[in-house]
A and B are shown apart, each in its own frame.
Chain A
Amino acid sequence: MQTAILAQGIGKAYRLGFWGSRKTVLREVDLEVGFGAIFGILGPNGAGKTTLISIFTTLLRPDAGQALVLGLDVVKEAGLLRQRINLAASNAHFLWCLTVEENLRFYGRLYGQGGRALARRVGELLELFDLGPHRRVKFDNLSTGLKQRLALAKALINRPEILFLDEPTTGLDPEMAAHLREEILRLNREAGLTIMLTTHNLREAEMLCSEVGFLKEGRLLARGRISDLQEQLGLGDHLTLIFKDSPAPLDYGRMPGVLAHKEESSQVELVLDRAEIRLAPILAAISSSSQELAEVRVKDLDLEELYREITH
């Protein structure tokens, strides 16, 4: 896997006021993200998510460490890098008195586009985000959902190789948030766009991200594929077997994929690495032991559980 984003020992502190003390926001963050990934940075408010994404997007200089995006140093080669990345943030803000189309044209020109090529690109984006009917509406008169769509359209104006999204669905109604998530997934699948997003919405990360990193108080506590993290922490899907009489006399602990087990009267609780592939052999073993099951319950591991485990 080629590396799209590489961070080594990133540290950042802000001075509080003119004479004030320094508040450390990021501490020795190491990170590697491959091309084509959707990488989610998760963490509570104040964890340093926006600070980290701002460093990758050249809007903030790190105090320590080095960050390479597309192989370019975010400090020394910021000018070159800016041509190849873009950002959409929550609570989209653009010039109030320009229309949707004028805002897109303005940002397109900032990337050196003009003439027919710019007109074509603006047209494509208006169509892609269904903004065509609103092209002559001033930014101030747009609904929150339309503003967010404009933000995403603006973020694609230069055909970026990496798209950074800072809490992209914050403030949107559930329907609009779901629509935006679909767009993000489509951009990743169809255009092969590498996406890094920050969120504190764990469900969103679960739906979108191929990999996640957990940030707390400026430290990256864990990162990787959700399934790998689950395995590292011994967390898994919960399988509850309720028998009509006594449980089947089986050695559950020795069964493949069983991370933990507990037996209580007529009930057996198992923690499995992956319920979808372990369930069938377990049920077959129970069936062959002639014990009758009254109920089977499966609860997938959710990211929230993983998050709690890592951040506490």
Chain B
Amino acid sequence: MKLPTDFHKIWAFAARSLLVNRRNVFAVFEMFFWPGVAIFSVGLLTRFLKLDQETVTFILIGAVSMNTIQIAQLDLSYSLLYDVWSKSLKHEFIAPIRLGHLLVGAGLIGLIRGLVVFAIMGLLSMWLFAMDLSRPGLLGLTLFLLGMFLNAAIIGVAVLILVLRFGHRAEVAAWAFSYLLLLLCGLYYPVSILPPGVRELAELIPLTYFLDYFRHFYGFPLISPYPLLYGFSQSFIYLLVSYALLQYTLKSALKRGTLLKLSE
């Protein structure tokens, strides 16, 4: 690996993501408007329902996680969608890059944007709804954040697979995957209330364990005895499998002529 060369290739995607985000008014909306709306609407709903502080915190953790993951994965998902929308996909793949350059470069900006969203939502939750973010401690918070960003990476890579396979038609997946997680991982409710069959499905999603881990600092019982072990093991397995699938999809795209069709 030639470090300076690889650095420039990674920076190409990071710098491009930064420029596009800076010039796109919707990117500002994604980072500030929707997370703000989410915190206010969910927080005020808990006030209206007169919920106790522990339950309020439980629900707010879900809202913060949802938006953080959503924003963090978007930069990855969009990294190929930008090229599909501008019909320039072939110019990217005629260059001597590896998928790793794209994932690290775009993922880095996703990580930064995700952290900003987490910070904004966390501060708003603390200020407006008395949520105590310091209770899990620095290590607990860092591990939870790491878990969330791993989930965001898995979603982002899954969207990239669909983009390389289905092109424009996969656009919707960039948003839909996160909402599917919302449904299954118990963002706003414990997974124990999910109907049989669906709960087992929730156990296959690493975010379930990270939420479980983070919420236990606020007095909620652990569903799994080793949430971090399960969460990180699943995350690494899914990440490896999804990366291998992405490589396979690219090879298949080179065989099927998908890169050319998406550049027309």
Contacts and interface: CB of A to CB of B under 8 A. Distances in A.
Interface of A: 14-15, 50-51, 54, 57-61, 79-80, 82-83, 85-87, 89, 93-98, 102, 105-107, 109-114, 118, 139, 154, 158
Given A87-B94, A114-B8, A97 B15 contact: no
B257 A60 contact: yes
B23 A93 contact: no
A139 B88 CA distance: 12
A14 B95 CA distance: 24
Contact of A107 (B11, B23, B95, B251): B95
Given A50-B260, A114-B8, A95 B20 contact: yes
B11 A94 contact: no
B242 to A, nearest CB: 22
Interface in B79-97: 82-83, 85-88, 90-97
B134 interface: no
Contacts of A109: 8-9, 11-12, 15
Contacts of B15: 105-106, 109
A97 B8 contact: no
Given A14-B256, A114-B7, A106 B94 contact: no
A112 B8 contact: yes
A51 B261 CA distance: 11
Contacts of B93: 59
A93 B86 contact: yes
Nearest to A57: B94
A54 B96 CA distance: 15
A94 B86 contact: yes
Contact of B88 (A83, A95, A97, A111): A95
A177 to B, nearest CB: 21
Of the listed residues B7, B15, B98, B254, the one surrounded by the most CB atoms of chain A closer than 10 A to its CB is B254
Contacts of B263: 89, 93
B90 A87 contact: yes
Contacts of B2: 112
A15 to B, nearest CB: 7
Nearest to A112: B5
A54 B83 CA distance: 18
A110 B88 contact: no
B199 interface: no
B260 A59 contact: yes
A240 to B, nearest CB: 47
Bin chain B's interface residue count. Answer: 35 or more
A310 B90 CA distance: 32
A51 B264 CA distance: 13
A14 B257 contact: yes
Contact of B20 (A83, A87, A97, A154): A97
21 contacts: A50-B260, A59-B259, A60-B257, A80-B96, A83-B96, A93-B86, A94-B91, A95-B16, A96-B85, A96-B86, A97-B23, A97-B24, A98-B19, A107-B91, A109-B8, A110-B9, A110-B95, A110-B96, A111-B95, A114-B7, A158-B95
Contacts of A15: 256
A110 B92 CA distance: 8
Contacts of B257: 14, 51, 54, 60
Contacts of A93: 86-88, 91, 263
B4 interface: yes
B169 interface: no
A60 B254 contact: yes
Nearest to A95: B86
A96 B96 CA distance: 22
Contact of A95 (B83, B96, B260): B83
B19 A102 contact: yes
Contacts of A79: 96, 98
A97 B86 CA distance: 9
A54 B9 contact: no
B255 interface: yes
Nearest to B5: A112
Contacts of B88: 93-95
A95 B20 CA distance: 9
A109 B8 CA distance: 5
A242 B92 CA distance: 61
A29 B94 CA distance: 22
Contact of B94 (A59, A94, A118): A59
Given A50-B260, A109-B12, A82 B95 contact: yes
B16 A114 contact: no
B54 to A, nearest CB: 45
A152 B224 CA distance: 58
A94 B91 CA distance: 8
Nearest to A82: B96
A232 B15 CA distance: 55
Q: Which 4 A-B pairs have the closest CB atoms?
A: A109-B12, A112-B5, A110-B95, A93-B87
Contacts of A102: 19
Contacts of A94: 86, 88, 91
Contact of A113 (B8, B94, B254, B256): B8
Interface string B66-90: 0000000000000000110111101
